[in-house]
């Protein structure tokens, strides 16, 4: 067999090896290296062009080295690899051997064969990596998690495991404080703490956003839970560069009746929803309560259009009071679900619809009903007062939202000034940019706007500086502190009211419950309020009666 036949034989045998570097490689390379008088074969890989320029290899492997050494003459074969960076194969002649032109040609053919085979292997490795890893954090992804679950189901050992559905808490605040890049790094570092306790027969993967899942052996559940409550994450070089991270989780202790991967995930996700929105604790084990909640949530979403068409979602109106005159000078429309004659608590269904675009349909249904009620009041000769309607941030993905709102008002022939659209503070820079565009367009259309729950988020001041709202609604948490002796809160409340006035916004306080709060609000210049002290949210007929009653006595 001549040298070129040996190279072809080598390429064929090497192509059968699926690993990038293993003992079988060394045997094949050693065999042909002896035939070609090669003294050293090495592989060098750089992560990027920048690391290559700095001479910092990601990987340096010796495929073969002759016992008696090698000469310093080299030939190099290399090219850009599949995803970033470069890798090279280098070959050197044996010590004391001077290759002829034919010898060097054969050595280059050998390196080319090695390079081609290993490029293909690396391509498959990268494709596998991309298929089963999250590109942002490097964690396993949903596809890998599903394959891991299915493997345990197929092998009949799924009952040995518990599934976790995990949400990292307060990532919105972390984003605001540290920026997107640093927040992503903190999330990755926190996720790495979970990975540290993962055994070889367990799995932890990212669903997307700040949500993760895990399949943990039941005997290790308590150890895994310990990371949920709180973990101090170091993210910088200084001792004080620490952030406390925590999570919420739903946990499902699996049984032998599991036959599909979605059962594993749905149970844990249902428990997570129960933990976050109902009992508000760090974690909950899936049980009959959370199972019932999951079924109810599914039923709500499945039958939403039926409930909508049956007119079960109606606006209740909470009066807004002018603190100078005691008169009702407006109202807020709050969605209520009347099911079989009973009022379903908003916290029971709003979060369910908020997780999907159903909330957008619900918001427009309430807007249509409000416009119809105002139109009827005007037609009856009654003096109409402006009514505010809450709109979810999910509407911000609709570039035509402002015009869609205007169409509803125009279809009822309403003066645009009679409806106020309320948005809560945005959670991201992108949302804030979209909100700016929406509010600007609503302003052009003569539709008034309000920022709801002001003071809850970190972006409050920036929000009202950048966006021209007509009304600022001070969150109940500010009002609650009136009379508590907390002077810092009082000072903040005073300056928020003054700040709003300077920017040309009307100020209204939410959650007013006693005369002392009214007195302090008037003192600070906030002359409008709503809350249980005046009235709870009322059905349309009761609100109409309130409009005709004597003004409230304000002292």
- Classified as helix, coil or strand, 320 is strand
Nearest to 215 by CA among 252, 248, 269: 252
Query: What is the distance between the alpha carbons of residues 388 and 99, in angstroms, rounded to a whole number?
Result: 87
**Residue 311 CB contacts under 8 Å (≥ 6 apart), including other chains:** none
Contact 288, 493 (CB under 8 A): no
* DSSP string of 176-193, one letter each residue: HHH-HHHHHHHHHHHHHH
Same domain assignment for residues 332 and 477? yes
Domain endpoint, select from 132, 150, 180: 132
Q: Quick check: is 554 in a domain?
A: no
Q: Quick check: is 137 in a domain?
A: no
Query: What is the distance between the alpha carbons of residues 231 and 147, in angstroms, rounded to a whole number?
Result: 29
pLDDT at 252: 93
Same domain assignment for residues 310 and 289? no
Query: What is the distance between the alpha carbons of residues 392 and 355, in angstroms, rounded to a whole number?
Result: 11
Query: What is the distance between the alpha carbons of residues 161 and 217, in angstroms, rounded to a whole number?
Result: 4
Q: Quick check: is 422 in a domain?
A: yes
Q: Quick check: is 555 in a domain?
A: no
Q: Quick check: is 199 in a domain?
A: yes
CA angle 376, 381, 386 (to 5 degrees): 60
Same domain assignment for residues 121 and 221? no
Same domain assignment for residues 121 and 147? no
**For the domain that residue 235 is a member of, what is the CATH number?**
3.30.70.270
Domain around 279 = 142-298
Same domain assignment for residues 362 and 455? yes
Q: Quick check: is 103 in a domain?
A: yes
Task: Report the run of H or E that residue 318 belongs to, with start and end.
Answer: strand 313-322
Contact 517, 482 (CB under 8 A): yes
Distances (CA, A) of 81 to 76, 106, 138: 15, 24, 19
- The long-range contacts involving 458-467, CB below 8 angstroms and separated by at least 24 positions, are 458/173, 458/176, 458/177, 459/176, 459/425, 459/426, 459/432, 460/425, 461/499, 462/432, 463/425, 463/426, 463/432, 464/499, 464/500, 464/503, 464/505, 465/503, 466/432, 466/436, 467/432, 467/435, 467/436, 467/439
Same domain assignment for residues 71 and 198? no
Cβ-in-10-Å burial (0-12, 13-18, 19+) of 471 comes to buried
Same domain assignment for residues 318 and 280? no
Number of domains in the chain: 3
Query: What is the distance between the alpha carbons of residues 87 and 77, in angstroms, rounded to a whole number?
Result: 9
Same domain assignment for residues 103 and 250? no
**For the domain that residue 42 is a member of, what is the CATH number?**
3.30.450
Q: Quick check: is 114 in a domain?
A: yes
Same domain assignment for residues 328 and 452? yes
Q: Quick check: is 381 in a domain?
A: yes
Same domain assignment for residues 268 and 364? no
Which residue has 């929406």 as its token pair?
438
Residue-by-residue pLDDT tens, the chain, 555 positions = 678 788 788 778 777 777 777 776 778 888 888 888 888 888 888 877 777 788 888 888 888 888 888 888 878 777 555 455 588 888 899 988 888 888 888 888 888 888 888 877 777 777 777 788 887 778 888 989 999 999 999 999 999 999 999 998 888 777 777 777 778 888 888 888 888 888 889 999 998 888 999 999 999 998 888 888 777 887 766 555 678 888 999 999 998 788 888 889 888 988 888 888 777 788 889 877 777 777 788 889 999 999 999 999 999 999 999 999 999 999 999 999 999 999 998 988 988 888 778 999 999 999 999 999 999 998 888 888 999 999 998 898 899 999 999 999 999 999 999 999 998 765 555 577 888 899 999 999 999 999 887 765 444 566 677 788 899 898 887 888 787 676 777 788 888 888 888 888 899 999 999 999 999 999 989 999 999 999 999 999 999 999 888 888 887
Kindly tell me the sign of the dihedral angle through the C-alpha atoms of 198, 200, 202, 205.
Answer: positive
Distances (CA, A) of 2 to 103, 106, 379, 442: 11, 10, 102, 82
pLDDT at 445: 96
Query: What is the distance between the alpha carbons of residues 268 and 216, in angstroms, rounded to a whole number?
Result: 12
Domain endpoint, select from 110, 132, 154: 132
Same domain assignment for residues 283 and 358? no
Q: What is the DSSP letter of 70?
A: B
Query: What is the distance between the alpha carbons of residues 44 and 24, in angstroms, rounded to a whole number?
Result: 19
pLDDT at 359: 94
Same domain assignment for residues 427 and 486? yes
pLDDT at 459: 47
**For the domain that residue 524 is a member of, what is the CATH number?**
3.20.20.450
Q: What is the pTM of this model?
A: 0.60
Domain endpoint, select from 132, 163, 184: 132
Nearest to 372 by CA among 337, 413, 336: 413
């Amino acid at each position: 067999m001549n040298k070129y036949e040996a190279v072809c034989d080598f390429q064929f045998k090497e192509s059968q090896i699926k690993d990038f570097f293993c003992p079988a490689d060394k045997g094949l390379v050693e065999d042909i290296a002896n035939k070609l008088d090669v003294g050293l074969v090495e592989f060098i890989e750089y992560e990027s062009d920048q690391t290559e320029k700095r001479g910092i290899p990601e990987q340096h492997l010796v495929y073969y080295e002759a016992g008696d050494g090698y000469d310093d003459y080299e030939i190099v074969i290399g090219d850009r690899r599949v995803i970033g960076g470069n890798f090279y194969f280098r070959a050197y002649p044996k010590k004391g051997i001077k290759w002829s032109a034919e010898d060097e040609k054969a050595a280059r053919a050998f390196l080319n064969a090695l390079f081609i085979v290993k490029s293909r292997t690396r391509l498959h490795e990268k494709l596998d990596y991309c298929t089963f890893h999250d590109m942002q954090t490097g964690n396993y992804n949903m596809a890998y998690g599903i394959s891991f679950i299915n493997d345990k189901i197929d092998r009949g050992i799924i009952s040995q495991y518990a599934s976790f559905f995990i949400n990292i808490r307060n990532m919105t605040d972390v984003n605001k404080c540290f920026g997107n890049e640093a927040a992503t790094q903190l999330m990755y570092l926190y996720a790495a703490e979970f990975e540290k306790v993962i055994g070889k027969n367990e799995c932890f993967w990212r669903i997307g956003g700040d949500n993760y899942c895990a399949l943990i052996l039941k005997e290790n559940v308590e150890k895994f839970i310990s990371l949920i409550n709180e973990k101090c994450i170091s993210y910088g070089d200084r001792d004080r560069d620490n952030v406390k991270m925590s999570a919420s989780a739903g946990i499902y202790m699996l049984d032998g009746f599991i036959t599909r991967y979605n059962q594993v995930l749905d149970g844990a996700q249902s428990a997570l929803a129960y933990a976050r929105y109902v009992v508000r604790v760090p974690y909950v084990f899936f049980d009959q309560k959370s199972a019932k909640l999951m079924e109810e949530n599914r039923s709500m979403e499945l039958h939403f259009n039926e409930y909508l068409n049956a007119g079960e979602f109606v606006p209740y109106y909470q009066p807004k009071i002018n603190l100078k005159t005691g008169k009702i000078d407006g109202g807020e429309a709050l969605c209520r679900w009347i099911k079989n004659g009973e009022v379903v608590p908003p916290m029971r269904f709003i979060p369910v619809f908020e997780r999907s675009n159903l909330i957008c349909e619900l918001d427009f249904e309430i807007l249509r009903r409000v416009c119809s009620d105002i139109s009827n009041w005007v037609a009856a000769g009654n003096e109409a007062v402006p009514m505010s309607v809450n709109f979810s941030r999910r509407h911000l993905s609709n570039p035509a939202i402002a015009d869609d709102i205007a169409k509803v008002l125009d279809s009822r022939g309403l003066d645009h000034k009679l409806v106020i659209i309320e948005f809560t503070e945005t959670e991201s820079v992108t949302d804030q940019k979209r909100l700016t565009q929406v509010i600007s367009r609503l302003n052009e259309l003569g539709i008034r706007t309000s920022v709801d729950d002001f003071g809850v988020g970190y972006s409050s001041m920036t929000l009202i500086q950048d966006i021209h709202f007509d009304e600022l609604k001070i969150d109940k948490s500010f009002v609650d502190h009136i009379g508590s002796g907390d002077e810092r809160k009082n000072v903040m409340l005073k300056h928020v009211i003054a700040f709003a006035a300077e920017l040309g916004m009307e100020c209204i306080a939410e959650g007013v419950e006693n005369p002392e709060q009214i007195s302090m609000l008037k003192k600070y210049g906030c002359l409008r309020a709503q809350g249980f002290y005046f009235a709870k949210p009322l059905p349309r007929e009761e609100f109409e009666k309130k409009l005709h009653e004597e003004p409230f006595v304000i002292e």
